[in-house]
Amino acid sequence: MNADAWVLDRTFPSSAGEVRWAALGRAGAPPVVLAHGTPFSSYVWRAVARALAQDHQVFVWDLPGYGVSAQFEGQDVSLGSQARVLTELLGHWQLPAPAVVAHDFGGCVALRAHLLHGARYRRLALVDPVALAPWGSPTYRLLGGHPEVFGQLTPGLHRALVREYVSSASHPGLRQAVLDRLVAPWCTEAGQPAFYRQISQNDQRFTDEIQHRYGEIDLPVLICWGTEDTWIPVARGHELASLVPGCELRLIEGAGHLVQEDAPAELTAALTRFLRTHPAHAPRTAP
C-alpha cells in the first residue's frame, strides 16, 4: 500500500466467500487485527492502520459482503458467519493471540469469535461496538425488514439513501471523497442487494447469545466511544464497561459513531498507548 491508495492485495477463500485483505508493517512485529463494521469497509481504518504499522504488523480485511470482498445472492453475511470467518482468518494468518481492535459490528464479531469459537487475543479494543441490547434504529429495522422492496429502488434513489445513511455516522461530517469511497461498494449491480442483505440478516439475537458472558472476558480491554455518537449513545459505553472486568473506558470528545474519521489522531493515540502498555493483569483462575 502507498499513501495515495487503499488496496487489499491478498485473498482468502473463507466459508462465506472470498475475503480481500492486506498486511501493513514489518512481518514479525507484534500483530494487530483491525475489524470494521457496517455499512463500512477496512477503508475507515486507513489512517489508524498506517500509524500503528510503525510498530506493529497490522492486518486489515473487508468482511464478506462488504467493500471489495465477495458479494453474491444467498451469501451468509450474518454476525454469526462473520465471527467464524474471523476465526478462520486468524488461523490463515497464523496469529495465535494478536491484539484486536474492532468497531461497530466488528465488535460483536470479535466478541463472538472469542467467546464462542475460542479465538485468543492478547488484548482487545472495542470502538463504539454493537454489543448490548437493544440495538438497531427504526430506519435500520425498516430496511432490514423489507430487503426485496428496497433492493428494487432505482440506482439514484438507492445511492441517495446510502449516502444519507453513511453520512449520519459522522458528527462533524465526512469529506466528499471519503463519503464517495464508503458508498461506492453498495452502488454496483451486486452491491445494491448486498446492502439490504447484510441488514436483513442481522438482529439482536447475535448479541443476546453472548451478552451474559462479558464477565468471562479475561484479558486487557479498552473501550473507546465517541461522545457525539447518535447511532449508539455513549451511555452504552459506560454500561459495557461495567460488564467487562477491569476494562478501561476512553471517551473521545466531539466524535460521532465513525470515530476513525471524526477523531483519527485521538483514537490512534489511545490505541497506541493501550497496545504499548504492559498490563498488571493477572488472569483469573476458574473456581
- Give the pLDDT confidence of 91-116 residue by residue, as tens digits: 999 999 999 999 999 999 999 999 99
3-state helix/strand/coil string of the chain: CCCCCCCCCEEEEECCEEEEEEEECCCCCCEEEEECCCCCCHHHHHHHHHHHCCCCEEEEECCCCCCCCCCCCCCCCCHHHHHHHHHHHHHHCCCCCCEEEEECHHHHHHHHHHHHHCCCCCEEEEECCCCCCCCCCHHHHHHHHCHHHHCCCCHHHHHHHHHHHHHCCCCCCCCHHHHHHHHHHHHCCCHHHHHHHHHHCCCCHHHHHHHCCHHHCCCCEEEEEECCCCCCCCHHHHHHHHHCCCCEEEEECCCCCCHHHHCHHHHHHHHHHHHHCCCCCCCCCCC
pLDDT in tens, 238-262: 999 999 999 999 999 999 999 999 9
| Mean pLDDT across the chain | 94
Per-residue confidence band for 278, with pLDDT thresholds at 50, 70 and 90: low
Answer whether residue 72 shows pLDDT above 70: yes
Per-residue confidence (pLDDT) for residue 286, from 0 to 100 = 29
Specify the pTM.
Answer: 0.94
